[in-house]
Structure 1
């Protein structure tokens, strides 16, 4: 089969072995795959897949089930999307059946491909690790990103007023259209967020360059969940603030979690998040769909940091 693999910073279409379907897995004929920043890092050689995981790119996909193990709750022909540790940008993928979700009613497979990674990440870090309670204030850095777009909608649905930092006035307006209360432009400095502080939860994919300001803006017993290092990995912190405010600083990744952990996370999404797609409270934000033969252009588009929501690759026709 054909799949996309990273090669000197670019996604390259290659021939590779068709995966075998192990016990407890299902096979999906992939129709579409979401593009995430992790794919850019892997293509650049900076984020290798966990041991035993396919070296092909792709952390989420949507498609049609073509093979199931005996006793599976899934059926041949089911329209599904899936959370993956790798291999989603391929004609076929085999995945743990616990990591598969039905395509929400009324959505296309291209839309569904933009859901699993970002909504799982937002739910895990804001509501599970960040323990956001109704009414608590949330700050989302990179608010117009895929994860940010998902988190804004989840915050609105679960009664958590949220603010954002973004790169432009247009992106701030986009975030406000999804439900954000307001925010600042990072080019003006994020100090302006102090006007909306204190925050109970901060979701931060930036890291070092925002670290000191995060400490200042957190409320008593606030939770700071760091999920990325776009702004560097080393920071000098005033730990007295960490102690006096009883702040929890939480480092979080999803890709390397165990299959059992991801299965439990998918169960939570099924129960608490999935009904909100059917009700219209959540809406996957797909800015552009590229043919996977144009994957290099899709990766460049995401790397431009000008995308609102998600970029999706179309692998085949439904």
Structure 2
């Protein structure tokens, strides 16, 4: 089969469309012929050498994909050859075939094209599992940074579907408009003083109280202190990305006075049982939200898988809105 390989850690120019060995499904796994794969910022980090896959997982990038089941490993039940599936992966999606544990395969959501579905499961599983983790509740105020990306686009809509007030940050007017179209009650340019803007806005009518109850953070160190500044009493921050660095300063006194929580999670390194539970919950909770229109698909850009280098250049450039999808041959 052919797959995107990386000759050495570095820029997109290190990516090659190469001949590699087709994987064989182990017990409890299935072999899937790829239809499409979603592109995520974690893939960029892996290409640069900063986010290696878990031990025993393919070095090929790709954390989500759709395809057709072509072979069953020993002990697999509930799936058949010929089934079209959406798969949450720990790696391997940028290829003509991939293997995946059966518990991380779910049906394509009703009314969604199988190519578009390739860009759904990673964001859905990430957002839903983290909102479960911090117990986001109806009526609360929710803040997401990077609201125009794949995670942000989904998170805005998911929080609105739960009955929350939503604030999003983004980098230019085009992206801010996108956040508003997705349902954000307030969209703020992160180049401006967003801490003051959020503090003043949430102190006005239309928000339940001053500050935000839950923050979904992709920035890490760069926004740590400012995030704590805008948390409400009993507020919770969950960090899922480190685009702004790994090490920051945390004022424990401020955190104590607010009875606030700062936590961080990773989906890729969870045990298989947890991933299977999350995938099943996505199918049960999120797919109906997509079917009835509460959550709309993000804008997408489709690029041939053999041109994955171009996809990484586009995502790295910072102007992308929504999701990029690699379409297999």
For normalisation by structure 1, the TM-score amounts to 0.96
Q: Which residue of 2 aligns with 1:112?
A: 117
1:67 equivalenced with 2:71 (yes/no): yes
Specify which of 12, 18, 22 is matched with residue 14 of structure 1. 18
Q: Which residue of 1 aligns with 2:293?
A: 280
Specify which of 47, 53, 65 is matched with residue 49 of structure 1. 53
Once the two structures are TM-superposed, the CA of residue 196 in structure 1 deviates from its matched residue by 3.2
Q: What SS is found at the alignment partner of 1:188?
A: coil
Q: Which residue of 2 aligns with 1:2?
A: 2
Q: Which residue of 1 aligns with 2:128?
A: 123
Report the count of equivalent residues: 315
Once the two structures are TM-superposed, the CA of residue 32 in structure 1 deviates from its matched residue by 0.4
Q: Contact 1:286/1:312 (CA < 8 Å) preserved in 2?
A: no
- Counterpart-to-counterpart distance in 2, 1:180 and 1:41: 28
- Counterpart-to-counterpart distance in 1, 2:214 and 2:85: 32
1:96 equivalenced with 2:101 (yes/no): yes
1:293 equivalenced with 2:323 (yes/no): no
1:212 equivalenced with 2:225 (yes/no): yes
Q: What SS is found at the alignment partner of 2:119?
A: coil
Once the two structures are TM-superposed, the CA of residue 71 in structure 1 deviates from its matched residue by 5.3
Q: Contact 1:49/1:55 (CA < 8 Å) preserved in 2?
A: yes
Q: Superposed, which structure 2 residues align to 1:175-194 within 5 Å?
A: 175-191=179-195, 192-194=197-199
For normalisation by structure 2, the TM-score amounts to 0.93
Q: Contact 2:66/2:84 (CA < 8 Å) preserved in 1?
A: yes
Q: Which residue of 1 aligns with 2:205?
A: none
Q: Contact 2:110/2:287 (CA < 8 Å) preserved in 1?
A: no
- Counterpart-to-counterpart distance in 2, 1:44 and 1:9: 7
- Counterpart-to-counterpart distance in 2, 1:80 and 1:280: 21
- Counterpart-to-counterpart distance in 2, 1:67 and 1:286: 33
Q: Which residue of 2 aligns with 1:223?
A: 236
Once the two structures are TM-superposed, the CA of residue 249 in structure 1 deviates from its matched residue by 0.7
RMSD: 1.3
| Residue deviations 1:115-170 (CA, integer Å, cap 9, x gap) | 01111111111x21121011111000111111111111111111111101100111
| Residue deviations 1:19-75 (CA, integer Å, cap 9, x gap) | 111111121110100000011111111111111100001000011111224551112
Q: What SS is found at the alignment partner of 1:121?
A: helix
Q: Contact 1:183/1:193 (CA < 8 Å) preserved in 2?
A: no
Q: What SS is found at the alignment partner of 1:62?
A: strand
Structure 2 residue ranges without an equivalent (≥5): 203-210
Larger displacement relative to structure 2 (5-14 or 262-271) = 5-14
Q: Contact 1:287/1:307 (CA < 8 Å) preserved in 2?
A: no
Larger displacement relative to structure 2 (58-67 or 10-19) = 10-19
Q: What SS is found at the alignment partner of 1:113?
A: helix
Q: Contact 1:207/1:228 (CA < 8 Å) preserved in 2?
A: yes
- Counterpart-to-counterpart distance in 2, 1:47 and 1:57: 10
| Residue deviations 1:235-256 (CA, integer Å, cap 9, x gap) | 2222111111111111111111
Once the two structures are TM-superposed, the CA of residue 262 in structure 1 deviates from its matched residue by 0.5
- Counterpart-to-counterpart distance in 2, 1:25 and 1:305: 36
Q: Contact 2:27/2:76 (CA < 8 Å) preserved in 1?
A: no
Q: Contact 1:6/1:44 (CA < 8 Å) preserved in 2?
A: no
Q: Detail structure 1 runs of 4+ shifted over 6 Å in the superposition.
A: none
Q: Which residue of 2 aligns with 1:172?
A: 176
